[in-house]
Amino acid sequence: MAVPDLSPFDVGVGELPTAAKQNGLITAVQNSLNNIGNPAYTTFASGQILAPSQISQGGATTKQGLVWSGTAWAPASLAAITVKTGSGVAVTNTITETDLFTGTTGTGYLVIPAGSLTATGGIRIVGGGLYTNSSGSSRTIRMKLRVGASSGLPAFTTFTTPWDSGVSDTITSNANNRAWTFDLQLQALNATNSQAWSGDFFMSSATPPTTGLGPLSAPSNASLAAPITPTTGSVDFAADVGIALSVIHSAAVSSITMQLGYVRIEVSS
């Protein structure tokens, strides 16, 4: 749209605006607005913000915006958020590696849709739950974060493993629940197939708090603590990517349970 020339209606220093100038200014602006829909104004001149060829028509959905593809602006996801709430999945009575997100041992996992992560975007995975060992003996767990291309629904055990905790220190038997929590971050390194991971995992002692899930205690009294050493990866997020957080119990008994209370996966562009 051409910008109207309003200079004839300027008011000089010490000059009082006349009715003619005021009316002329209003008329000029009104005519300009009326011409917005005029076909003569639909062609963008050189140096203006957008050309018609740079706008891709498409139905945008909730939480989408316009993203520049290199040739055109088009609707695209600004952030994809997957939320799992409620009582979550309880893994018990098995020594098979099992995904805490879905409770499955093979093709069940959460999927981040293709293109959700940009070359400069990031992912944060936060979650937590309860662990119980009332078996009468000390036990261990082993945690793994699995990430990989989900096309064809391969088993998550074939995925890349940015984090493998190894076998934990022993967890003594106790009738009380232990609270656990994790916070994992991924940052794309200027490409959708190059990233860095880091984070942490904590499990409380079995001392029951007055209210809530975990007691406030000195680090030496915590049951488990695992800062996740920064590591790099090359999973290509241009395609669908599956994510699993798995646990392996040291004994298959019903009195050992690891339960996921919630998980939240945030993908920012």
What are the extents of the domains in the chain? 7-75, 78-268
* Percent of the residues in the chain that have a pLDDT greater than 90, as a whole number: 31
CA distances from 66 to 63, 76, 77, 115, 245 (A): 11, 6, 8, 14, 33
Give the tokens for residue 146.
């699995």
Q: What is the pLDDT of residues 113-129, one digit of tens each?
A: 888 888 988 988 888 99
Residue 33 — φ and ψ, nearest 5°? -65, -40
The verdict on pTM exceeding 0.95 is no
Tallying the residues shown for the chain, one arrives at 269
> What is d(CA 189, CA 204) in angstroms, rounded to the nearest whole number?
34
Q: Do the beta carbons of residue 144 and residue 160 sit within 8 Å? A: no
What's the pLDDT band for 207 if we cut at 50, 70, 90? confident
95 and 249 Cβ atoms separated by less than 8 Å = yes
